[in-house]
Structure 1
């Protein structure tokens, strides 16, 4: 007797992209509530586009999202979002504000939203993760872990953008969330070549004064005057010209000195023996960071790969 395959759990998603003739098609594109995928037509051969989103436009504190992605040889998958990923206020905080909090210990659901992404890129495949930034609401918590397995940087390509804002500026929220944690691990041929981690956590959140997130967080002084931070990973021989151009541009910029904070600051580190770069950006405005990433880092390498489809990038 054969056993039936396990049923997907809430928040679980699966994407399998493969090449079929001159097209890139989805062998599997499935998601369980609250996760949702939408596919879109590409103007380029062997390029598939999927949008990852959630019902309600954001993640609640008890949401657990796990996405597995496979990209086969000769296929290109671009994974996008339809806007910034909003992280809503923790449930425990909502109850406290409403006057219904209890004395019991916080549960796992009170510790925030979690997202896990596992990606496998075949030797001749390309994967592009280019979402809009994460925006955490006041008193919210968010943790994500993203793992990428690339078979070869000589023939495969990986582009990963991980970025976040200070919050809802129009609502007076600037670095008012409880926690933002992100970790990106990149393996090439089974060997770990990149581990990039970010952790912002309010050490004062348990105090009564700051229980509703109305007082400054413990980390806010370390981030101003910037309101948007980004990490960009470019990896693969097909991006060699773009990688070289970024390194040359950084050498020119690093020679300039200033006595006051720049509106946009960035740094770059070669990775995988020069087979790629890791770029970090900080900006006083999200649109300035967006423009720098698209025009200063991505256009040179991706426009040739994506054609007209490049204009959909971030």
Structure 2
């Protein structure tokens, strides 16, 4: 696996990039600062993930640093003709009083694509942490929704080295009942937003205007929306160790963009 590296440290009261190494096909671009956070964009020499690609990224955020990690465009995963997964893996360690926002554009799965992504985060109890993980079922302009072969997503979060959350999602349209109400139903996009740390409740208040309803429990499916055939469904799951997971399903990206706009501010 070709592994890129990103390291941040606080120097003279500012967050600075102290190491940045890009390994093709991944490119890391420093594109600005936001409230003492460095903005880094992820890009690709090939415009997306090709069959058999193995991409890794190791991140270290030093004490009292800020990181806004975005992607330059949608992460396109192209058709697989050799039956080899494209794989993208991220490992990150975040020190005390860090502020971390991971807000990429969605993964867009082309017809025949096979893709697995993994994220492993070790954060501090004082880390303000926001992670948006979302996918689009295919190129809407090509009418290829759920024409991909396989998609897997793994999110693992530890606090001071102690695992507190592990979520695994797997989808194979050829064998899964994709349009079942228990899976995607009429929706084509899925987003999970993980909110942890001192500012989690404040961010949640800013997100409430965009939610059709709130469901404050962890072990039940959201109830039906009060509106027939809604464009978006959202559910809020509090975490037992503190923080929240916001889960959304939508028909188009337009319905989810306001959520991303709030998280970016």
TM over 0.5: yes
Q: Which runs of 5+ in 1 are unaligned?
A: 1-8, 93-109, 205-217, 303-309
1:13 aligns with 2:4: yes
In structure 2, how many angstroms separate the alpha carbons of the residues matched to 1:24 and 1:82? 21
Partner of 2:38: 48
Q: Which residue does the alignment assign to 2:234?
A: 266
Larger Rg: 1
Deviations along 1:161-220, whole A, 9 cap, x unmatched?
10001101111211110011001011112222221221101445xxxxxxxxxxxxx443
Instruction: Give 2:192's aligned residue.
Output: 231
Shift of 1:243: 3.3
CA 1:21–1:126: 2 relative to 1, 3 Å: same
Q: What's the RMSD between the two structures over aligned residues?
A: 2.3
Alignment partner of 1:119 is 2:92 = yes
Using structure 1 for the length normalisation, give the TM-score.
Answer: 0.75
- In structure 1, which of residues 131, 145, 152 is the aligned counterpart of residue 104 of structure 2? 131
Secondary structure, aligned partner of 2:24: coil
Pair 1:178-2:149 in alignment: yes
Match of 2:51 in 1: 61
TM-score, normalised on structure 2?
0.88
**Contact residue 180 and residue 200 of structure 1 kept, 8 A:** yes
Q: Distance in 2 between matches of 1:292 and 1:127?
A: 17
1:166 corresponds to which residue? 137
Q: Which aligned pairs between 1:1-314 and structure 2 lie closer than 5 A?
A: 11-44=2-35, 46-92=36-82, 110-152=83-125, 155-203=126-174, 218-222=176-180, 223-243=184-204, 253=214, 257-258=225-226, 260-273=228-241, 275-295=242-262, 298=263, 310=265
Aligned residues: 255
Cα distance in 2 for partners of 1:259, 1:247 equals 17
